[in-house]
Structure 1
């Protein structure tokens, strides 16, 4: 295990990765006190060497050369790591193999790294302290050892999972799913939709929704600007209180529950009042739930197809969430261009058969053991 805290050593490590077929990667990060995730440590394994890279001491833009390499990046549960890396370096690896995601194609359901290493390699990973401050320097020997263990066994997991994927003829399925994950948009969501992440907004009267939307958007942009959690800018309780009362002056604003005077000092109070004024003139609607605009005749089909997909997932030893979620089914029934069931391996297993069900070419029936089966129909 080596510690890297200068650009020269990092470039030397990247040179090794560029010359290798694969490398393992993991990150440690914090986001409790910031809006954007703060990269605290980068673990990289290439060959038989594990390196701990200190992002606080190196130029993180150099990671762009690492991620541009054609080498396959082996990573576990990559979604948050990709977001962190995108923010820290402006790029993500060109090719990934997510061991958690790929394990879903060989009969496992989103296993943790520790459980996967135990089941596949019969090795117990060291237990880390969930309260570890990864931004603190220096890291203790135990902390470094724990961090290194997150990448030390990824090559062996890759070998095991890949071999079984090939046996089952599902290597392309996993590759497609990993690329789908790698290219999925990550990072901040549209600030204008921030209000929808507040649970209680669905109880607001129509006249209050525009205010909630405008103030939540202001809060989100303020949080992004100052890199702090939105609720530290303005609590949800205060935001909802503002939406209910729609204050027109800073003086009226100061009486809102959950809002302290220090939070509305300077220009902030007037900015909130301006957002309220804007929101009062805007009519916004809460998006329909997943069933609201689904034609009534499709609702029985939705439930039946969802049950059938769960049955197929068990038969194929594939994680049901990978095969198709209720949102996937709905997108397919609506003929949405973003339907995942219309393309690739999902279309092969379920998408085309759903079309047969909808057109009457096939139907679903229970067998003698209570399992759903797809059967061809005889059209009169």
Structure 2
């Protein structure tokens, strides 16, 4: 917007190390320098477009969002992309490696990716290296990491081979077909509405709100407006269309 380009490599630089470099200090300064100006310019643009009221409602909704619990669980490894491509033994190894990574990150007070990336964990679990030399050929394993963690990783991999297969997380209950049909029709309506207005679909109404509408299936504007994820403003702006979609979907 202001033709300012920041060197994003500093996002992953070591901000714990002191003193900070001149480049880091400059990056930190520029990263926030334009925020107040940006706020004022965007506020002016919203008012010119007649979207300030809508924006205020969306901002207020974001303040009510409950943050996810970021506490570690030994079963967090199931969320790693590619875990389902592994066999049971490899999954057991991945679980053990994920636990070790979390313990090491807490001990060193560092983010997880600073210890090992997820792709590195996957390759360790899949390839099961048996020597420091083989470890050095795994994606993301630097010479420094091999020196620091190599023998520990080899021990974890060897021991985890004999661990019992991890239990997959329980699957959520499938909604009734009628609810799924309503949701799909509402999703298509939202997508088309977003295209017409030139905004992202979530600006029209949230995905969670669509599920609530599909389950509750309100029949009147008053009932629609009372749903927390819909509210008075959306009921007034989109209510008739939403009710028509629900009626058509049955």
Deviations 1:69-118 (A, max 9, x none): xxxxxxxxxxxxxxxxxxxxxxxxxxxxxxxxxxxxxxxxxxxxx1xxxx
**Higher strand fraction: Structure 1 or Structure 2?**
1
Determine whether 1:127 maps to 2:10: no
Cα RMSD for the two superposed structures: 4.8
Tell me, what secondary structure is at the counterpart of 2:183? helix
In the TM superposition, residue 306 of structure 1 has moved relative to its aligned partner by 0.7
Structure 2 length normalisation: TM-score?
0.59
Aligned counterpart for 1:243 among listed residues 120, 125, 149: 125
Structure 1 length normalisation: TM-score?
0.43
Q: Which residue of 1 aligns with 2:166?
A: 283
Q: Which residue of 1 aligns with 2:61?
A: 177
CA distance change for structure 1 residues 211 and 308 in 2, over 3 Å: closer, same or farther?
Answer: same
- Is the CA contact 1:126–1:146 (under 8 Å) kept in the aligned structure 2? no
In the TM superposition, residue 221 of structure 1 has moved relative to its aligned partner by 3.3
In the TM superposition, residue 176 of structure 1 has moved relative to its aligned partner by 2.0
Distance 2:39 2:47 in 1: 12
Distance 1:144 1:235 in 2: 28
- Is the CA contact 1:195–1:216 (under 8 Å) kept in the aligned structure 2? yes
Q: Which residue of 2 aligns with 1:301?
A: 182
In the TM superposition, residue 203 of structure 1 has moved relative to its aligned partner by 0.9
Q: Which residue of 2 aligns with 1:343?
A: 228
Deviations 1:149-169 (A, max 9, x none): 332342353355357346xx5
Stretch moving more, 207-216 or 187-196: 187-196
CA distance change for structure 1 residues 205 and 142 in 2, over 3 Å: closer, same or farther?
Answer: closer
Q: Which residue of 2 aligns with 1:30?
A: none
Runs of at least 5 residues in structure 1 that lack an aligned partner in the other structure: 1-113, 115-124, 336-340, 365-376
Aligned counterpart for 1:151 among listed residues 36, 53, 57: 36
- Is the CA contact 2:92–2:166 (under 8 Å) kept in the aligned structure 1? yes
Tell me, what secondary structure is at the counterpart of 1:280? coil
Q: Which residue of 1 aligns with 2:95?
A: 213
Aligned counterpart for 1:324 among listed residues 205, 227, 245: 205
Distance 2:70 2:151 in 1: 27
Distance 1:311 1:184 in 2: 29
Tell me, what secondary structure is at the counterpart of 1:223? helix
Deviations 1:52-80 (A, max 9, x none): xxxxxxxxxxxxxxxxxxxxxxxxxxxxx
CA distance change for structure 1 residues 246 and 328 in 2, over 3 Å: closer, same or farther?
Answer: farther
CA distance change for structure 1 residues 342 and 215 in 2, over 3 Å: closer, same or farther?
Answer: farther
